[in-house]
Amino acid sequence: MHDSDTRQRFLHPEFRLPLAIFDLDHTLLDGDTDYLWHSHLCDQGVIDRATFEQRYHEQNTAYDGGTLDPGEYVEALVDALNHLSTPRLRELLTSFTRDVVPHRIAPAALDLLQHHRQRGDYLLVITATVDFLARCSISALPIDDFIATEVEWDSDRPTGILSGTASFREGKVVRLEQWLAQRDHNLAQSWFYSDSINDLPMLELVDNPVTVNADSPLQSIAAARNWPQLTIRC
């Protein structure tokens, strides 16, 4: 579905609640959830730092270039956890949520969310990060709901198999369409905040695109189109 078709479908009068939509990593979170999580695993002696840094560099290069394979990303992320017992995995997720994430939330990010809360907007995060890690970061934020890349689970453990469409690049628009189709919200007067050129399809979809800590390609586009540009750092 084209962006214009999506907007027309969800501007129907019955959808009345305005949306303020946010990317997560390098936008509301000062840092990347995946990097922070794996760095935490290194600190806890779970994985080797040199091996992780090399893998992350390769994946980040692919992400910046828009060529990241979400299925391979999910598989590699979960593969690093397969040797852990379920209680140990839960313990690490808890300590990550408690000890790492709060230090990466800038006061200005909370102020921005509060601004939209006072406007009466519905606060939604949409992120390419896998759901069980995104939940850790979002727990520190006053968010109403979130959309993340979903993985299949076997009992109480992630399998490493991608579930549905990854919320990456155009996939974010697809996932948002699916989300909107089941809820009483619209895209009229909607906002979207992001740092990455990968989110250009989402930025072009909303009435109010805003960049935050934008990468160089996105900075250039924002300047040419007179989009507001913010910097939010801890």
- Of residues 3, 5, 25, 207, which has the active-site annotation? 25
State yes or no: is 25 an active-site residue: yes
Q: Could you write out the three-class secondary structure of the chain?
A: CCHHHHHHHCCCCCCCECEEEECCECCCECCCHHHHHHHHHHHCCCCCHHHHHHHHHHHHHHHHCCCCCHHHHHHHHHHCCCCCCHHHHHHHHHHHHHHCHHHHECHHHHHHHHHHHHHCCEEEEEEEEEHHHHHHHHCCCCCCEEEEEEEEEECCEEEEEEECCCCCCHHHHHHHHHHHCCCCECCCCCEEEECCHHHHHHHCCCCEEEEECCCHHHHHHHHHHCCCEECCCC
Indicate which residue of 3, 23, 121, 184 is catalytic.
23
The yes-or-no answer on residue 3 being catalytic is no
Q: Give the chain's length.
A: 234
Catalytically active residues, by annotation? 23, 25
